[in-house]
Amino acid sequence: MKPFEKLPIEKQARIVNASISEFAERDYETASMNKVVERAGIAKGSLFNYFKTKSSLYFHIYHLALGEVKAYLRKVRDETADLPFDVRLAKIVDSGVQFITEHPRLARIYFRLIYSDDSPNRKKIVDELQSMSDEYLGGIIQDAMDRNELDAQLDKSQSVFFLDAVLTRFLKDYHEALELGDQDRFDREQWVIGITKLFSKGLS
């Protein structure tokens, strides 16, 4: 049993919480183990006893974040399995907005990972996320094609790309606005309508 897991839950939580804050506020290289220790109220030696290196602590936090994201995605996919494409799309956007609202720090870590390049093992992780997204959005597009809601001749991987590009960018901007307390400029409904319309009918 790893030393960290033997700790009382309350202490584990304090450390995880401190780490999330630190990795959310600064990028990987700039995030400081000294500051984590300070935030968590433990000694430096202890932290390095629980996690041998900075990058192993980062992975612990990253996997927590990824687990949360996956849970959200799975939930919305399963709950909407029988609904039409546009409704599913809307629910996915809603789910993303909800995740960001409830876990802004995890969202920050997630976006940082995707968009920056200083996280350790970045390429491996991004590939992993990419194939996750391919499978997830690909499945939803396939469902829609099977139901003749989308053109059966579609280039599926390209469609996934477009969907991913628009959804991710929307959520990133929403998240950024949230951090500035400016999220009111996003009329959620208006955006959901716009996004579904773009993918169903284009701009013409």
End-to-end CA distance of the chain: 60
Beta carbon nearer to its own copies, 42 or 192: 192
Q: Which of 30, 33, 84, 132 binds its own copies (CB under 8 A)?
A: 30
Q: Which of residues 22-81 bind DNA (CB under 7 A)?
A: 31-35, 42-46, 48-50, 52-55
CA–CA distance, 136 with 133 (Å, rounded to integer): 5
Question: Judged by CB under 8 A, which of 33, 125, 166, 177 binds its own copies?
Answer: 166
User: What is the Cβ-side half-sphere exposure of residue 54, based on CA atoms within 13 angstroms?
Assistant: 16
Q: Within 10 A of 88 (CB to CB), how many other CB atoms are there?
A: 21
Q: In this structure, what token pair is assigned to residue 82?
A: 């029988």
Task: Report residue 147 as tokens.
Answer: 């139901």
Query: 158: which 2 tokens?
Result: 């390209």
Candidates 4, 16, 21, 27: give the one binding its own copies (CB under 8 A).
Answer: 27
One residue of 150, 175, 178, 192 binding its own copies per CB under 8 A: 150
Among its own copies, DNA, none, partner that 31 touches (CB below 5 to 8 angstroms by kind): DNA
User: In three state form, how does the secondary structure of 36-55 look?
Assistant: HHHHHCCCHHHHHHHCCCHH
Q: Does 165 bind its own copies (CB under 8 A)?
A: yes
Residue 52 or 185: the one with the smaller Cβ distance to DNA is 52
Residue in the block written with tokens 């491996």: 124
86: left (phi over 0), alpha (psi -120 to 50) or beta: alpha
- CA 191, 197, 202, 204 dihedral sign is negative
Number of residues counted as binding its own copies (CB under 8 A): 38
Size of the site for DNA (CB under 7 A): 21
The reply on whether position 151 binds its own copies by CB under 8 A is: yes
> Binding residues for its own copies, per CB under 8 A?
26-27, 29-30, 112, 115-118, 141, 149-151, 154-155, 158-159, 161-162, 164-166, 168-170, 173, 190-191, 194-195, 197-204
Residues that bind DNA (CB under 7 A): 3, 6-7, 11, 31-35, 42-46, 48-50, 52-55
